[in-house]
A and B are shown apart, each in its own frame.
Chain A
Amino acid sequence: MTEKTTNGIGAPLPRESARRLAEGRGRYVDDITMPGLLHIAFVRAPFAHGRVLKIEKDDAFEVCGVVAVIEGKDLAEICVPYDTNPTGVPNHVSAPQPPLVVDESCFQGEAVVAVVATSRAAAEDGAELVFVDWDELPASCSIEEAQADSAVPAHTNFDDNLTLKHRFGAVDVSDAFANAAHVVESNFDFGRQTGVTLEPRGIIAHWDPRTEELEVWQSHQVPWQMREVYATQLGLSPQSVRVTAPDVGGAFGLKLHAYADELAVVAVSKLMGRPVKYIVDRLEAFTADAHAREARAICRMALDPQGHILGIDARVDAGFGAYAMHPRGSFGEAMQAAQMIGAPYKVGAFRAEVFGWRQNKPPSGAYRGVGQPIACAITEDMIDLAASAVGIDPVEMRRINYRSTLDEGARATEAGLVIEELSLDRCLAKLINAMDYDRLRAEQTALRGKGVYRGIGLASFVELTGVGAGLYGPLGLTVAANEACRLTLQPDGSLTCATSVTDQGQGTLSALAQLIAGEFDIAPDKVRMIAGDTGRTPYGGGAWASRGMALGGEAAKRASERMREGLFEVAAGILQCEPSDLSLANGAVVGPKGPSGLTLAEIAAICHYRPYDSPLGKVPQMTIEESFVPSDVPYIASNGVHAVHIEVDPDLGTVMLLDYWVVDDCGTVVNPLLVDEQLRGGIVQGIGAALYEECLYSEDGQFTNGTLADYVVPMACEMPDIHVGHVTTPTRSTGLGAKGVGEAGTVGAPGAVRTALNDALSPLGARVTQQPFTASRILEAVMAAEAANK
């Protein structure tokens, strides 16, 4: 018998409903099959930039099982290319991206031909026999190449590669710098990354000509968005399209996007009237999945003699792909990378320019943290440089500059951020205490004398979560900004919550069940969650930008409150008292005279079967739907501080992660067990960014490290234990008070490792600026410092 909680919120309940995943009873897209299912393998473009001269496909049909070989022109009749030109960002333009290349192909790995067969193996055999004759075209394969005056256009529709140009803050900040006591400056480099979800992307599409309906199962975060996308691309009514995301093996933003190859699968199904499955294999994933993070930056910071920040001036150049990622564009990460610089601080004057460049690489799109990891890394490294120039401790530097709220009378920060209230000073205080900062510094000094180089890195962050219509609407993006909950009281007294929120392992569904159960004081296993299926859930966003609990939780809370009100009206009639006299305990109504014995099941039975027994003469709704979108703020800002303690070997360039702490303020914490593990997982992904992960391209745009042996993600033996602490400042924009937390780990960790490394190397006069901080880059920095000191 499962125990119920007396109060849903705050209890560290394990996810019993997810136990089946540990028992191998998950149902991911590749686990789904159906009669007559066909399989696709793609022939993909080998060059960074090319033009198709001819396609020879006859040989492919010799393979037993191959039933069709489909080209771009075959699909063009039934499916339009992605048009990603958001009206709110007019200089972010993209060439149309067809599901299969028709003429010009713009990145290595772009899908060109779809071979359809009765098995994946047969499809792959067929694909090997398809011959595509190419005219190889010149390509732009680095930010430098893309931004050069003589740059080759990554897509021949354009004359150049500039596809984003924006300024945050003032036009000119030179005054702040002219009078500054200190000015510090640095450049920054961030390697291109890919999300590496352990379950690769996958899709099954079934256009049934009998019902003229399209049903899609997809490993995805936002099924409602995909319903709209497929309807638009295929010229269908959205009402004829149903999209379901079953169990999803990791997403991290990578599965937020609309991919050309997935659209091709859907279009093939429509063309053939057959169900078709495609699972991206790991080698394909590297060049077919969304990329992220590629950026170079330069930043200057002006300070007064005491170390107060007088101004920040920054420029970010982001390396996008050949097409803008559909449907949200590729600009989001670059914009946040620039706008969020300095966010935790009062900065005086602020200017940040951001430029985005098309390259002959896969499209780039949102990946966990979306630009904020970059902004945090730049900011915190600058803060440490500033602290050193001014001659104060890095902790003190942060303390004296932290922002806690908007300036008097201001509606936003100098960078244009709308923040409510930040608790960075409290987070920092708690962090310093937890890590015993003074002792670590003392040890560091002592060990330096023995030639052991320890580093302490701090990274403060502000994160924009629960992003709503206020952000997407003005950008012209048709992305649902709300989350919704449809709550039903079943005749047996159990509850069903159909939510627009989706869960790829975060545990949001369990947390919602816990929250709802708490509202009725029943066991969480009495609340059944339905999610991921546009046919069974209310319209809403899904999962991204850390919104599940912040927005979906608020919708669930409001639905629960409204349902409770209705139930209390019925109960009040039966018990002859006022609804305000009532409460719930153990799933039964407690009246003014104590427990009434009137259970949820009994009230439900009256409402469903015997409404005439209700003294009111009517019964309340048994299904309540609430939709929530934050109206007063475009997003909900959360904050926190990270710290990492490392040891660097200056002879080998290796880094040992000794210890890690984070103190995070995500407002109301519904389930600390889930929240803490989200932080830990996010931190380890951030460590991966800092130390290991980079998509390495050759000069001619070939992805050269495209296996899991070469693109390295963190493994257990090198990761530290992570100490998690919380400060709680509920947001005032919702009744629940929860802020997002899913990305907070990834936002801060790369910055913490960067500052720790530079702290460790500082006695050697060495500095690293290019992420990932591989052993060879660390050694180069050490050797450069040695040479300079001679």
Chain B
Amino acid sequence: MKMQDSRIIAAPRDSVFEAILKPEMLKICIPGAEEVTGSAAQGFEALVVQKVGPVKAKFRGTVKVEDVVPGTALRLVGEGKGGAAGFARGAATVTLADHPEGTELTYEVDAKIGGKLAQLGSRIIDGFARKMADQFFERFKKALEIETTFDGSTG
């Protein structure tokens, strides 16, 4: 399934770009993340617990960072194995642009779910995926804006 959306983040483009690549930031932003280790260069490993409809799963996943255009764009490619529940894979292309209020972050996600989860049908999966993507970028935005506020360096 595919989806796209954008957010205005009250922070400068460079700090937004830097933030995406920090494991601590990913841990805050990925809903249900219990652990995120690694680095942008080597790739991240994550342990995520989530419930999709009636199916609860612990996903062990990897996230690789590709196609980096410093300060402007990158691609996050993730894959999670969920044991009995199934598996998930997705890629998000993130582009940043300057905006009067800070930075406009646009993301395009292409996700695939398989196994028992997939069987529940798109009505549950699509809504769930949208909600997760939403939560991720909402948390990201909030975390950045708080940081920025504390920093004192507002846009």
Contact = CB atoms under 8 A, between A and B. Distances in A.
Query: Do A and B touch each other in the complex, judged by CB within 8 A?
Result: yes
Interface of A: 43-47, 108, 127-134, 283, 286-287, 698, 700, 702-707, 709-710
A132 B115 contact: no
Interface of B: 56-58, 60, 81-87, 112-116, 118-122
Query: 6 smallest A-B Cβ distances: which pairs?
Result: A46-B115, A706-B119, A46-B86, A702-B118, A43-B84, A702-B114
18 contacts: A43-B84, A45-B115, A46-B115, A46-B116, A127-B84, A128-B57, A128-B58, A128-B83, A130-B84, A131-B58, A132-B83, A287-B119, A702-B118, A704-B119, A704-B122, A706-B119, A706-B121, A709-B121
B115 A283 contact: no
A46 B57 contact: no
Given A287-B119, A703-B119, A704-B119, A134 B114 contact: no
B84 A286 contact: no
Given A128-B56, A134-B81, A283-B116, A47 B87 contact: yes
A131 B83 contact: yes
A735 B86 CA distance: 57
A47 B81 contact: no
For chain B, what secondary structure do more than half of its interface residues adopt (helix, strand, loop), or is it mixed? mixed
Contacts of B118: 698, 702-704, 706
Given A45-B115, A128-B83, A131-B60, 13 more contacts: A46-B86, A46-B116, A47-B87, A47-B114, A108-B114, A128-B84, A128-B85, A131-B81, A131-B83, A283-B116, A698-B114, A702-B119, A704-B122
A47 B115 contact: yes
A44 B116 CA distance: 8
Contacts of A134: 81, 87
A286 B115 CA distance: 12
A710 B121 contact: yes
Contacts of B114: 46-47, 108, 698, 700, 702
B75 to A, nearest CB: 21
Which of the listed residues B83, B84, B87, B112 has the most CB atoms from chain A within 10 Å of its own CB? B84
B119 A707 contact: yes
B6 to A, nearest CB: 28
Contact of A704 (B86, B116, B121): B121
A283 B119 contact: yes
A710 B120 CA distance: 9
Contacts of A133: 81
A46 B121 contact: no
Most buried by A among B81, B87, B114: B114
A30 B122 CA distance: 31
A590 to B, nearest CB: 65
B7 to A, nearest CB: 30
A139 to B, nearest CB: 11
B119 A286 contact: yes
A703 B83 CA distance: 17
A44 B84 contact: yes
A286 B118 CA distance: 12
A193 to B, nearest CB: 16
A57 B86 CA distance: 16
A43 B84 CA distance: 5
B88 to A, nearest CB: 10
A44 B27 CA distance: 30
Contacts of B119: 283, 286-287, 702-707
